[in-house]
Amino acid sequence: MAGIHKSEVTISQSGKMEHDLLRTVNWNGRFKLWMGFLSLLLLVCLYFYYLQLRDGLSVTGMHDIVSWGIYISNFVFFIAVSLIGMLISSVLGMIGYKWIKPISRIAEIIAVAFALVAGLVIITDMGRPDRLQHLVMYGRIQSPIVWDITIVITYVVLSLLLLYLPLIPDIALCNKKLTGLPAFQRRLYKILSLGWADKPGQFKVIKRYFRILLIMIIPVALAIHTVTSWLFAMTLRPGWDSPIFGPYFVSGAFVAGCAAVIIAMYFFQKNYKLQEYITNRHFDLMGKLLVLVSLVYVYFNINEIIVPAYKFKPFEVEHIGNLFYGHDSALFWMVQTGGLIIPFLLLMIPKMRKPLPITIISVVILVAAWFKRYLIVVPTQLTPYYPIQNVPERYHSYTPTIAEIAITVASFVLVLMIITILSKLFPIIPVWEMKEENENQKQ
Amino acid sequence: MAEKSNAPRRKSRREFLRKLGTTGAVSIAGTSLLFAGSKTGNSDKTPGSKVKMLDQNNRLVEADVSQVSPVSVKIDAGYLNKKGRKGLPGRKFVMVVDLARCRNARKCMKACQGAHQLRPEQHHINVLEMYDEENGASYFMPKPCQHCDNPNCVTVCPVDATFKREDGIVLIDNERCIGCRFCIAACPYSARTFNWAEPKDAEKYKDVPYDMELNVPQKKGTVTKCAFSADRLREGKLPYCVSACPNGVYYFGDENEDLVTNGTTRETVRLSKLLKQNASYTLMPELGTKPRVYYLPPRRS
> By three-state DSSP, how is residue A153 classified?
helix
Counting every residue, how long is chain A? 443
Q: Is the pLDDT assigned to residue B116 strictly greater than 90?
A: yes
Asked if the Cβ–Cβ distance from A138 to B196 is below 8 Å, we say no
Q: Is the pLDDT assigned to residue B9 strictly greater than 60?
A: no
Candidates A120, A396, A58, A139; CA nearest to B194 is A58
Which residue in chain B has the smallest CA separation from A55?
B197
Distance from CA of B261 to the nearest CA of A (A): 27
| pLDDT confidence bin for B29, thresholds 50/70/90 | very low
Which residue in chain A has the smallest CA separation from B220?
A56
ipTM: 0.88
Asked if the Cβ–Cβ distance from B197 to A55 is below 8 Å, we say yes
What pLDDT does residue B78 have? 75
Specify the range with the lowest mean pLDDT, choosing from B70-74, B84-88, B276-280. B70-74
Which 8-state DSSP code applies to residue B281?
B
- The answer to whether the beta carbons of residues B292 and B251 sit under 8 Å apart is no
Which residue in chain B has the smallest CA separation from A139?
B159
pLDDT by residue (tens digit) across B181-229? 999 999 999 999 999 999 999 889 888 889 999 998 999 999 999 999 9
pLDDT by residue (tens digit) across A332-352? 999 999 999 999 899 999 999
Q: What does DSSP say about strands B170-172 and B162-164: parallel, antiparallel, or unpaired?
A: antiparallel
B220 interaction partners in chain A (CB closer than 8 Å): 56, 127
> By three-state DSSP, how is residue B50 classified?
strand
Asked if the Cβ–Cβ distance from A390 to B121 is below 8 Å, we say yes
Which of B185, B195, B289 comes nearest A381 by C-beta?
B185
Element holding A228 (H helix, E strand): helix A200-233
Asked if the Cβ–Cβ distance from A57 to B179 is below 8 Å, we say yes
H helices of B137-224, in order, are: 152-156, 182-186
Q: Which of B129, B178, B193, B194 to mutate to test the interface with A (most CBs of A within 10 A)?
A: B178
| pLDDT confidence bin for B17, thresholds 50/70/90 | very low
A390 interaction partners in chain B (CB closer than 8 Å): 109, 121, 123, 126-128
Which 8-state DSSP code applies to residue A141?
T
Q: What percent of chain B has pLDDT over 90?
A: 62
**What distance, in Å, lies between the first and last C-alpha atoms of chain B?**
39
Asked if the Cβ–Cβ distance from B188 to A236 is below 8 Å, we say yes
Sign of the CA dihedral running B54, B55, B56, B59: negative
Which of A57, A385, A391 comes nearest B121 by C-beta?
A391
Per-residue burial over A108-138, b if 16 or more Cβ lie within 10 Å, else e, is bbbbbbbbbbbbebbebbbbbbebeebbeeb
Element holding A306 (H helix, E strand): helix A280-311
Asked if the Cβ–Cβ distance from B189 to A387 is below 8 Å, we say no
Question: Is it true that the peptide bond before A182 is cis, omega within 30 degrees of 0?
Answer: no
Q: Is the pLDDT assigned to residue B41 strictly greater than 80?
A: no
pLDDT by residue (tens digit) across B217-276? 999 999 999 999 999 999 999 999 999 999 999 999 999 999 999 999 999 999 999 999
- The answer to whether the beta carbons of residues A319 and A384 sit under 8 Å apart is no
Q: How far is CA A209 from CA A155, A166, A414, B141, B233, in A?
A: 16, 10, 30, 63, 62
Side-chain half-sphere of A58: how many Cα atoms within 13 Å? 13
Q: Is the pLDDT assigned to residue B7 strictly greater than 70?
A: no
Query: Whole-angstrom Cα distance, residue A369 to residue A77?
Result: 7
Residue A258 phi/psi, 5° resolution?
-60, -45
Which residue in chain A has the smallest CA separation from B109?
A390
Domains within chain B, CATH numbers bracketed? 7-67 (no CATH), 78-296 (3.30.70.20)
B interface with A, Cβ–Cβ < 8 A, is 109, 121-123, 126-130, 143, 152, 155-161, 176-182, 184-186, 188-190, 192-198, 220-223, 284, 287, 289
Counting every residue, how long is chain B? 301
Asked if the Cβ–Cβ distance from A134 to B176 is below 8 Å, we say yes
Asked if the Cβ–Cβ distance from B178 to A395 is below 8 Å, we say no
Which 8-state DSSP code applies to residue A274?
-
Q: What percent of chain B has pLDDT over 70?
A: 79
Count of CB atoms situated within 10 Å of the CB of A99:
15
Candidates A76, A97, A141; CA nearest to A289 is A97
What pLDDT does residue A20 have? 78
Q: Which of B150, B190, B224 to mutate to test the interface with A (most CBs of A within 10 A)?
A: B190
Q: How far is CA A244 from CA A191, A232, A256, B50, in A?
A: 46, 11, 19, 69
By CB atoms closer than 10 A (0-12, 13-18, 19+), residue A443 is exposed
Q: Where are the beta strands (DSSP E) in chain B?
A: 50-54, 60-64, 93-98, 126-132, 137-143, 162-164, 170-172, 193-194, 223-224, 250-254, 259-262, 268-270, 293-296
Going residue by residue through chain A (443 aa), what tens digit of pLDDT does each one get?
Answer: 444 444 455 556 777 777 778 877 878 888 999 999 999 999 999 999 999 999 999 999 999 999 999 999 999 999 999 998 888 888 888 888 888 888 999 999 999 999 999 999 999 999 999 999 999 999 999 999 999 999 999 999 999 999 999 999 989 988 888 887 888 888 899 899 888 888 888 889 998 999 999 999 999 999 999 999 999 999 999 889 999 999 999 999 999 999 999 999 999 998 888 888 888 999 999 999 999 999 999 999 999 988 888 887 888 888 888 889 988 899 999 999 999 999 989 999 999 999 999 999 999 999 999 999 999 999 999 999 999 999 999 999 999 999 999 999 999 999 999 999 999 899 888 888 888 877 777 76
Sign of the CA dihedral running B134, B140, B142, B143: positive
- The answer to whether the beta carbons of residues B263 and B144 sit under 8 Å apart is no
Which residue in chain B has the smallest CA separation from A63?
B196
B181: left (phi over 0), alpha (psi -120 to 50) or beta: left
Domains within chain A, CATH numbers bracketed? 33-442 (1.20.1630.10)
What pLDDT does residue B251 have? 96
What pLDDT does residue B75 have? 67
Candidates B153, B181, B220; CA nearest to A67 is B181
- The answer to whether the beta carbons of residues B292 and B146 sit under 8 Å apart is yes
A235 interaction partners in chain B (CB closer than 8 Å): 152, 156, 185-186, 188
Beta pairing partners, B146: none
H helices of A312-401, in order, are: 314-325, 329-333, 342-346, 355-382
Beta pairing partners, B224: B193
